[in-house]
Amino acid sequence: MNNRIAKRMDSISPSQTLAISAKAKAMKREGLNVISFSVGEPDFNTPEHIIQAAKEALDAGNTKYTPSSGLLPLRKAICEKFAKDNGISYEPSQIIVSNGAKHSIFNACYALLDEGDEVIIPTPYWLTYPEVVKVCGGVPTYLVCPKENKYKFTAEELKAAITPKTKMLIFNSPSNPTGAVYTEEEVRAIAKVCEEAEIFVLADEIYEKLCYNGVKPFSIAKCSEKMKDLTITVNGVSKTYAMTGWRIGYLAAPHDVAKAIDSFQSHATSNASSISQYATMEALSASEEEVQKMVQIFDKRRAKLLDLIAQIDGVKAVEPDGAFYVMLVVDGLYGKCYQGKALTNSIDFANALLEGEKVATVPGISFGADDCVRLSYSLSEEDMEEGLRRIAKFVSELK
Ligand SMILES: Cc1ncc(COP(=O)(O)O)c(C=O)c1O
């Protein structure tokens, strides 16, 4: 047998970040005091009332298959969420609940992309997007979002990037990794271009509630009926309710798209965990007090982190308005040496920082931005201060 592994797997790149995070974990296991800025999930527990709802679901025997697209009351609650938070009206048949937002994104790409269809991915991007697009037969094309424009692309830049083969734009606001949040005006201009070109938009709104500075995200599906018919909005509970392990994400789509995704999911995975679905119903219907508390803590850390970064010569950051990440721009230090080893890219930088100062970051190359490393501020203020002290020391020792 020449081809044990299917050709389609050739297109997937192994995660360049895995090696560094594996090294950070191994160092922690050895008892070393590693400060990790590489975490992609809130460092809070799932709120107690949500855990309680899951326990009650178990006790009530809600442990069986559900409809593959999710429990009807949950899909109704999701419709209410879209109406209340985003001003968009959906029917439960347009909602598919899946095993995390990542699964929803995969489903949407699988349902919409034919071999060779181009997908515009604004860069820096969340590292899963290009891989999912490739697995589904699509071709990622990249639209650079300049830091001078707070890591946002403009409608004109999008227009110039569209080709006759473009089928979809992936639009992630607030963004992982940059924290960029597009204003209503910017979203409306982008929607106009998508409507004219008749391209789909996969709107990943997983960080929508984690916004600061009074900035409010705006859902592209709200722009017009035509735009709604071209948009698949993805969201979930992982980040907002600190529920990464529960694996619930969902999407809202036009009827034909939702129907296709439902049939695919019914054969691929069936329903997401019934217990997690009950917990999600509670998360979506209860007060947002816990979320607000989390946002305030993140906001305080964000301000502190930016302040500490500003005190280090040779690095800089663009102020993020959402999510819980900051891109630390470090390319001004490339060409310098750390303990005799030259730093030429973000992987060198992240490796040397981890080995020398025991600080874990994610190299920007993973997000298509080799001039940066990503810092997550999902860690305590004390650890953050210590981590930044170590980064400052590391930078001062470069020759
Ligand atoms: C931009 C973005 N979209 C989607 C996801 C996936 O979330 P989930 O845990 O719901 O699969 C993540 C997780 O890191 C993310 O950063």
- Cβ atoms of residues 217 and 186 within 8 Å: no
pLDDT for res 304: 96
pLDDT for res 296: 96
Which residue's CA is the closest to the ligand 1 atom numbered 1?
176
pLDDT for res 24: 86
In short, whether 101's Cβ falls inside 6 Å of ligand 1 is: yes
Question: In a structure prediction context, what are the per-residue pLDDT tens digits for the chain, which is 399 residues long?
Answer: 878 988 888 888 776 666 777 888 899 999 999 999 998 888 899 999 999 999 999 999 999 999 999 999 999 999 999 999 999 999 999 999 999 999 999 999 999 999 999 999 999 999 999 999 999 999 999 999 999 999 999 999 999 999 999 999 999 999 999 999 999 999 999 999 999 999 999 999 999 999 999 999 999 999 999 999 999 999 999 999 999 999 999 999 999 999 999 999 999 999 999 999 999 999 999 888 889 999 999 999 999 999 999 999 999 999 999 999 999 999 999 999 999 999 999 999 999 999 999 999 999 999 999 999 999 999 999 999 999 999 999 999 999
pLDDT for res 1: 84
In short, whether 40's Cβ falls inside 6 Å of ligand 1 is: yes
- Cβ atoms of residues 338 and 332 within 8 Å: no
pLDDT for res 17: 64
Q: How many angstroms does the Cα of residue 338 sit away from the middle of ligand 1?
A: 34
d(CA 116, CA 76): 36
Token pair 């190359």 is found at 365
pLDDT for res 262: 97
d(CA 311, CA 319): 14
Tabulate helix, strand, coil % of the chain (nearest 5): 45, 15, 40
Q: How many angstroms does the Cα of residue 206 sit away from the middle of ligand 1?
A: 7
Of 355, 350, 358, 352, nearest in space to 387 by CA: 358
d(CA 27, CA 48): 33
pLDDT for res 16: 65
In short, whether 15's Cβ falls inside 6 Å of ligand 1 is: no
Atom of ligand 1 nearest to the CA of 126: 1
Domains, the chain, ordered by start: 7-45+290-396 (3.90.1150.10), 63-285 (3.40.640.10)
Strand-by-strand arrangement of the 166-172 sheet: 95-98, 249-252, 231-236, 200-204, 166-172, 118-123, 139-144
Q: How many angstroms does the Cα of residue 242 sit away from the middle of ligand 1?
A: 12
Q: Is 5 exposed, middle or buried (0-12, 13-18, 19+ CB in 10 A)?
A: exposed
d(CA 98, CA 285): 19
Alpha helices (H) along the chain: 16-29, 48-59, 72-81, 101-112, 128-135, 155-161, 184-197, 225-228, 255-268, 274-285, 289-310, 346-357, 381-396
Of 140, 289, 302, 148, nearest in space to 209 by CA: 289
User: Could you tell which of 39, 171, 239 is best to mutate to test the pocket of ligand 1, judged by most ligand atoms within 8 Å of the CB?
Assistant: 239
Q: How many angstroms does the Cα of residue 102 sit away from the middle of ligand 1?
A: 6
Q: How many angstroms does the Cα of residue 89 sit away from the middle of ligand 1?
A: 24
